[in-house]
Amino acid sequence: MEQNRPRRQFRGNKNTPRPARHHAAANEGRRAPSRDPLPTGPFAEMGIDPRINANIVAMGLNQPTPIQDQAIPAVVEGRDVLGLAQTGTGKTAAFGLPMLTRLIKHGRKPDPKTCRALILAPTRELATQIAQNIDAYAEGTPIRSFRVVGGASINVQTERLSRGVDVLIATPGRLIDLIERRAISLEATTYLVLDEADQMLDIGFIHTLRRIAKMLPPQRQTLLFSATMPKLMSELAATYLKDPVRVAVNPPGKAAEKIEQGVHFVTQGDKAALLAEYLSKHPGELAMVFGRTKHGSDKLAKLLDKWGFKVAAIHGNKSQGQRERALQAFRKGETQILVATDVAARGLDIPEVAHVYNYDLPNVPENYVHRIGRTARAGRDGRAVAFCAPAEVGELRAIEKAMKSAIPVIGGEVPANIPRAERNPSRNRGRPGNNGGQQRPARRPSRQPKSQKAKG
């Protein structure tokens, strides 16, 4: 009759192992901890937090770039850093990975209406991109970031900041708006990053930056990154940095080595037809076209659309939503051509961009380097073509002076005021787009109606 007795409830002492079925019930819905070894590698050896290191390994970031290799150890040690590197060299990871590592070690939450780290960027697009990278690096950690830019609801931003945030990514103008509304205080900010600082100076943020500097505590770590070093940058560095480690991986103003550059001389009225001819040579590949004005960029985009190209435009007159939708479509390949003003010349990281066209040469020589830096990213090769009208020869000379090198001629008639000896077009025979070194006028695209006069 022993087998008919009711089953007794398990009552073991503390040394008695529980049956396996109890383990299953206790852990139901709970993910078992991973027994895999923590990722190792060069970033881990530089002191990056294991969770952050695991994220970047999963993202395919296994080998640091020169700017990362030199800057990360200094940031981990708590030093101020002045980093000079051309765009596309991995500056976001250079300051983001060690900054997040130091924030995690603090082990405390931010107070309401405060931020522990502040990253300032000159444009909405760059701020958005930085925020996306920071979120990806910090996934699975307690660190929370938030982006504030113009063109978005300031009430929504105010409500989110009321709970405090670890990392605040902001454009200077919107940050001042929020400070004036008492939505955010910088009194507890112990980390400050100025990204693309030279562009913030170019677009007139110097007074705003000085104002922000006075609101920050004197005891903080400051990281300043820039692609060029204009005169005002020395003043800015002296204001923000204390005994900084200077990291320079490329001479200021020098273009990336993997960018194949060329200049095509053309009259202003024939630029659109010439651009269409170049674009037709690489269907399906992403290309960025830079214009000087908002109206001119819109006009060019409409003309290219009329000729059958998949094109979008972004500039300062577009709303934030329009700009984000245009960039998203470009990243996905839904549009293959993005016409932009210099608002898109900094920081945008779209590795698939294979071609950059300077439809109008920039007034600021340094912007040429930033524009063409949209290609040849993530180790890829890239091509950049500058269209130079007779009235733009001065801008071309200024660009070449800033880069300390001549841009090879790949087409058109060299103006009389530029001696051919300076160009030596024969050395460029066989380069893509050079037509064997032969100079020839541009042809109008076959898709253009004969009645349509091509204008820039």
pLDDT (tens, 9 = 90+) of the chain, 456 residues, equals 444 444 444 444 444 444 443 333 333 333 334 444 456 789 999 999 999 999 999 998 889 999 999 999 999 999 999 998 776 678 899 999 999 999 998 878 899 999 999 999 988 888 998 999 999 999 999 999 999 999 889 999 999 999 999 999 999 999 999 999 999 999 999 999 999 888 787 777 888 998 998 999 999 999 999 877 777 778 788 888 999 999 988 655 566 667 899 999 999 999 999 999 999 999 999 999 999 999 999 999 999 999 999 999 998 788 778 888 898 899 899 999 999 998 766 657 788 899 999 999 998 888 898 889 888 776 678 999 999 999 999 999 999 998 889 999 999 998 876 654 454 443 433 344 443 333 333 444 444 443 343 333
Write down the pLDDT at residue 226: 84
Nearest to 276 by CA among 266, 365, 327: 266
- What DSSP string runs through 135-198? HHHTTTSS--EEEE-TTS-HHHHHHHHTT-EEEEEE-HHHHHHHHHTTS-B-TT--EEEESSHH
Write down the pLDDT at residue 256: 62
Same domain, 111 and 163: yes
Same domain, 92 and 238: yes
Angle CA 197–83–173, to nearest 5: 20
Same domain, 229 and 270: no
CA contacts within 13 A on the Cβ side of 195: 31
The range of the structural domain enclosing residue 332 comes to: 259-437
The answer as to whether 7 is a domain residue is: no
Same domain, 268 and 417: yes
Tell me how far apart the alpha carbons of residues 160 and 328 are, in angstroms, rounded to a whole number.
25
The answer as to whether 17 is a domain residue is: no
274: left (phi > 0), else alpha (psi -120 to 50), else beta? alpha
The answer as to whether 37 is a domain residue is: no
Same domain, 230 and 277: no
Write down the pLDDT at residue 19: 40
The answer as to whether 12 is a domain residue is: no
Same domain, 88 and 153: yes
Same domain, 79 and 223: yes
**Domain end point (choices 225, 248, 271):** 248
Same domain, 352 and 305: yes
Please name every residue paired with 337 in a beta bridge, in sequence order, or none if there are none: 287, 311
Sign, CA torsion 71/73/76/80: negative
In terms of DSSP bridges, do strands 259-265 and 81-84 run parallel, antiparallel, or are they unpaired? unpaired
142: left (phi > 0), else alpha (psi -120 to 50), else beta? alpha
Write down the pLDDT at residue 32: 39
The answer as to whether 79 is a domain residue is: yes
Domain count, the chain: 2
**Domain end point (choices 248, 274, 291):** 248
Tell me how far apart the alpha carbons of residues 413 and 425 are, in angstroms, rounded to a whole number.
11
Same domain, 153 and 193: yes
The answer as to whether 2 is a domain residue is: no
Say which CATH number the domain at 226 has. Answer: 3.40.50.300
User: What are the structure tokens assigned to 29, written together?
Assistant: 């819905």
Please name every residue paired with 169 in a beta bridge, in sequence order, or none if there are none: 119, 147
pTM exceeds 0.85, yes or no: no
The answer as to whether 233 is a domain residue is: yes
List all residues 6 or more positions away from 158 whose beta carbon is below 8 Å from its beta carbon. Answer: 178, 181, 183
Tell me how far apart the alpha carbons of residues 230 and 252 are, in angstroms, rounded to a whole number.
9
CA contacts within 13 A on the Cβ side of 329: 17
Same domain, 234 and 125: yes
Nearest to 174 by CA among 166, 183, 187, 165: 183
269: left (phi > 0), else alpha (psi -120 to 50), else beta? alpha
Kindly provide the residue ranges of all beta strands, DSSP E only, lying in 405-456, ordered along the sequence. Answer: 409-411
8 A C-beta contact, residue 273 and residue 301: no
The answer as to whether 215 is a domain residue is: yes
Same domain, 220 and 342: no
Same domain, 66 and 204: yes
